[in-house]
Structure formats: C-alpha cells, structure tokens
Structure 1
Amino acid sequence: MRVHVVQVAYGDDEPVAARVARVADLVRAQRGADLVLLPELWAPTGFSYRRWADAKETVDGPTVAAIAAAAKEIGAVVHAGSIVETVPDDAAPEARGETGRGLWNTSVVVGPDGDVVATYRKIHRFGFGEGEPTLLEAGEDIVTFPLADGTVVGLATCYDLRFPEMFRRLLDAGAQVVLVPAAWPLPRVEAWTLLGRARAIENQFVVVQCNTGGEHGGYPMGGHSQVVSATGEVLAQAGTGEEVLVIDIDVADVAAWRERFPVLADRRL
C-alpha cells in the first residue's frame, strides 16, 4: 500500500477558498497513491479558533467536496483532514450534541469514487478551557473502516495521541493502521514524534501522522509528519515546511510482528 502524507504549510493571510483550491491541487498531484492523508483543520486553521464559527460546514460542504473530486480523479482513498462540522439548520435538537453547540472537529475519509467512507468526531478536545472545549462538542465513537484489500484503518486526531486507552480501543476494533491528522505546535513537537512511536510500539500497528507547517493564530507549527512501523521504527519523517512523504507499507508485516513478538497476548487489564 503506497501512502502519501501531505504536510500542508499555511498562514493566516491565505484566504480559506484559495487554500482549499491549492490543497485540492496538491491531492491531484498524488497520482499513484493508494492512500493520501491531510492534516487536521487545514482549511479553517488549527489555532485561529475565533474563525471557526465562520468556517463551519457540513460533511457535504465545499472543503470535502473539493477533496472528494480530487480523490476521484486520482482513484485513491483520501483522508481529507478535518473540518469544523456543523449540522443542517433544521436538525433536531438531539443532533446538536450534548451542549447544543452543534459543532465538531470532524475527520472525513473519501473513497476513490469520491464518496464518504468514514467520519470521526474528535473525542479529546484540546485547549484547557479555551478553543475546542468551549466551542466544539466532544465526539463519542471509536471509528475504523476497511480498505479494499481488507486492511482495517483506525482514526484519531492530534490531541488524541496523549490518551493511550483510545488507541487500545482502536486495537480491539481490529486496527492495523491508524491515521492521525494534526495541528501540533512547534514547542511540543518532540511529544508529537515520541507519542506516535509509543502508540505504535504498544499496540503493534502502523501509525501515520500528518501535521501542519507554517504559522497560524500566532503559533508556529511543528511539522515532522511521520510514518511509524508496528515495531516503532520511523519509516519516514518530514521537516517543518510543506512536504509530501511517500512510503510503501506492507500491512502483512503487522501480523508477522505480532506473531514473532506476541506481547498483546499478555494483556491482563
């Protein structure tokens, strides 16, 4: 399986519509990929959260539509990163979430036919009382989906990396590969790379992490997107700017490693 990790770099001065068009063209340039991964909240920006209410859209809105069209052109599964998801105005009150805000940080995966194959609402909201916790609902569901070859892919987002119990749940749901889009800042980039390796080692699955570059909301972003094998080996890692990682993953290696080093069979809790 050929994976392309598209580390998008941007700043607050780039209009959202222009960035959506530019990133859709980046996806079109990934011809030959089986799976393409984009970062978290690359359209509304990860840290300029005061813009999120104006940038909200439904899953069938313009951002996902642009990426879905590009995915169809290249015939690849594309994780479109995440959007600030809203629900239609006429949605029932219970569809607006526990607090009634009706906004989520939602990852969307589209298939090679352009149709949505999976969505994941981010469970762990980052902000310590600001940003996501005050503006967005928390997701509730562990999400996996199968690729055409039977590979089971799990979904997580950014801050989720700090919660190992979530990745155990993904393991128990059958995940062999986990995709983690992010908007992770530069001052904590060492945690980003270390936690990705830890989640791969302890669960013996492949972790594919896609971060952003550039600066937005006054925060320099960390980049260092990476692909980590089930043994914890970093197979590819980006720098801090805009960059595409291209890596071939043999998912059969996951089962082979679990058989050779059967640590998961010794779980007791």
Structure 2
Amino acid sequence: MRASLIQVGVDQQEPVNSRRERVASRVRSQADADLVVLPELWPVGAFAFDAFEEVAEALDGPTHQAMSAAARDAGVWLHAGSVIERDADGVLYNTSLVYSPDGERAAHYRKIHRFGFDKGEATLLGAGTEPVTVALPDTTLGLATCYDLRFPELFRQLVDAGAQTLVVPAGWPARRRAHWSLLARARAVENQTYVLACGTGGTHAGVEQAGHSVIVDPWGEVLAEAGPDEEIISAELDPELVGKVRHSFPVLRDRVLGLPTP
C-alpha cells in the first residue's frame, strides 16, 4: 500500500480558488498511490483566524467539489486535510474530509481539541465530539488533526475502534517542530500503528510552519520525512506489519487502565 503526503505551502497572497486548483493537480499527480493525504486548513492557513468566517463552507462546498473530483480522477483514497466548515446552524468547525477512489465522501471528522488557549481557534470554532475511523481495503484509518496529537487518549480510542493507520493533518508552527516529530513517533510506538503526519510549509498569517511531514511505521521508524517547504513524500506501507508487531510485542494486551467497557 503506497501512501503519499502532500505538504502544501500556504501563501495568503495566492487566491484560495487558485490554491484549490493547484492542490487538486498535485493530488492527480499521485495516481500511483493508494492513499494521499493533505494538511490541515490548507485552503486558508491554520493561523489565519481573521479569514475563517469569510472562507467557511458547507461540507459540499467548493473544496469538497475540487477534492472529490481529484480523488476520482486519480483513483485514490484521499484524506483532503481540513476546511473551515459552516454547519447549518452557523457554527464553524475545523473539519477533515476523506474521499474514496470513486470521489464519494467516505467520512468527515470535526477536530476535537481546538488550539489557542482561550483565543484563536479555541474561541472561533465549535469542537467535535466523536472519534472517527475509516475502513479502507487494506487498513483502517484513525483520524486526528494537529493539536489532537498532544492527547494520547484520543488515539487509544481510535485504536480500540480498530485503527491501524493514524492520519494527522496539521498546520504546526516551526517553533515547536521538535514536539511535532517527537509526538508523531510516540503515537506510532505506543499504539503500534503507522502514523501519517502531514503539515504545511512556508509561512502564513506571520507564523512560520514546521513542515517536516513524516511517515512513521509501528516500530517508530521514520520511512519518509519532508523538509520545511512544499514537498511530496511517499512510502510503501505493509498492511500486515501492524498485526505482526502487535503479536510479537503485545504491549496493548497488557493494558490495565482506560480499557473500553465490555
């Protein structure tokens, strides 16, 4: 199973419609992949709080239309990163979108942990309430977004729901890049899963981005890692490796606390 992460450079001088077209073209270029992943809030920039209201869209809005077509044309499963979703009641959410190879939206996930410490995203957006998994032919994805990466209990719930590959789109700041790399590997090791952590490059809203998207295997080994700028990285994932690791080193079996209720 081949996974490709498209680390998008977000320049706010680039019109959003132009960026959608450019990103859709990059998705189509990955037709040899099985799964393609985009970053968090690439249409607007994760720190462009002042623009959230203006660019908010419905689940079937312009980003959906562009990404659905791109997934269908490339014939890939596409985690299209996230958008600012405007719900019917007017509440805004940071919502990830996942598409099947026929262009159908297979799932969406509203970010549970909002970043900002009583400002920014934490005050502007509603919070999701439910972990989300998506069954692919060769693996089950567990969905998380950026700041979620700091909350291991979410990932335990995803594993309990069957996740074998954790997908984390992000707009992570460069000043905390060491945390990004450390936490991505930690989530892989403690849950014995693949981790596909896809960030943005460049600078937006005055915040330099960490980049360094990374693909990590269930032993915590880095299979591919990007630099700081726009880049595509790819790696081959062995769908059977998760089961082999969990069988040969059965730490999940020895859990005592926080187990799901029978």
- TM-score above 0.5: yes
Is there any run of 5+ residues in structure 1 with no aligned partner, and where?
89-95
Q: Which amino acid aligns with 1:2?
A: R
* Counterpart Cα distance in 2 of 1:13 and 1:205: 38
Task: After TM superposition, list the pairs within 5 Å mapping 1:42-121 onto structure 2.
Answer: 42-88=42-88, 96=89, 102-121=91-110
| Alignment of 1:162 onto 2:112 | no
Match of 1:244 among 204, 228, 232: 232
* Counterpart Cα distance in 1 of 2:132 and 2:16: 28
* Counterpart Cα distance in 2 of 1:133 and 1:44: 17
Are the equivalent residues in 1 in contact too, given 2:10–2:44 (CA < 8 A)? no
Q: How many residues align?
A: 257
* Counterpart Cα distance in 2 of 1:143 and 1:265: 22
For residues 162-211 of structure 1, the C-alpha deviation after alignment (integer angstroms, 9 at most, x for no partner) is 00111111111110001000000100011001000001111101110000
Identity within the alignment, %: 53
For residue 241 of structure 2, what is the aligned residue in structure 1? 253
For residues 34-79 of structure 1, the C-alpha deviation after alignment (integer angstroms, 9 at most, x for no partner) is 0000000000211111100000001110012101101100100001
For residue 3 of structure 1, what is the aligned residue in structure 2? 3
How far off is 1:87 after superposition? Answer: 2.0
For residue 263 of structure 1, what is the aligned residue in structure 2? 251
Q: Which amino acid aligns with 2:148?
A: D
Is there any run of 5+ residues in structure 2 with no aligned partner, and where?
258-262
* Counterpart Cα distance in 2 of 1:245 and 1:192: 17
Are the equivalent residues in 1 in contact too, given 2:12–2:44 (CA < 8 A)? no
| Alignment of 1:29 onto 2:29 | yes
How far off is 1:14 after superposition? Answer: 1.0
* Counterpart Cα distance in 1 of 2:24 and 2:218: 30
Q: Which amino acid aligns with 1:35?
A: L
* Counterpart Cα distance in 1 of 2:103 and 2:254: 41
How far off is 1:133 after superposition? Answer: 1.1
Partner SS, residue 166 of structure 1: helix
Partner SS, residue 169 of structure 1: helix
* Counterpart Cα distance in 1 of 2:137 and 2:239: 13
* Counterpart Cα distance in 2 of 1:145 and 1:10: 27
* Counterpart Cα distance in 2 of 1:237 and 1:244: 9
* Counterpart Cα distance in 1 of 2:140 and 2:181: 23
| Alignment of 1:129 onto 2:118 | yes
For residues 120-160 of structure 1, the C-alpha deviation after alignment (integer angstroms, 9 at most, x for no partner) is 000000011111111100000010010023x2111000000
For residue 91 of structure 1, what is the aligned residue in structure 2? none
Task: After TM superposition, list the pairs within 5 Å mapping 1:164-179 onto structure 2.
Answer: 164-179=152-167
Partner SS, residue 130 of structure 1: coil
For residues 223-266 of structure 1, the C-alpha deviation after alignment (integer angstroms, 9 at most, x for no partner) is 00001111111111000011101111002001001111011111
Q: Give the RMSD, CA atoms, in angstroms.
A: 0.8
* Counterpart Cα distance in 2 of 1:54 and 1:132: 15
* Counterpart Cα distance in 2 of 1:25 and 1:46: 22
Q: Which amino acid aligns with 1:26?
A: R
TM-score scaled to structure 1, two decimals?
A: 0.94
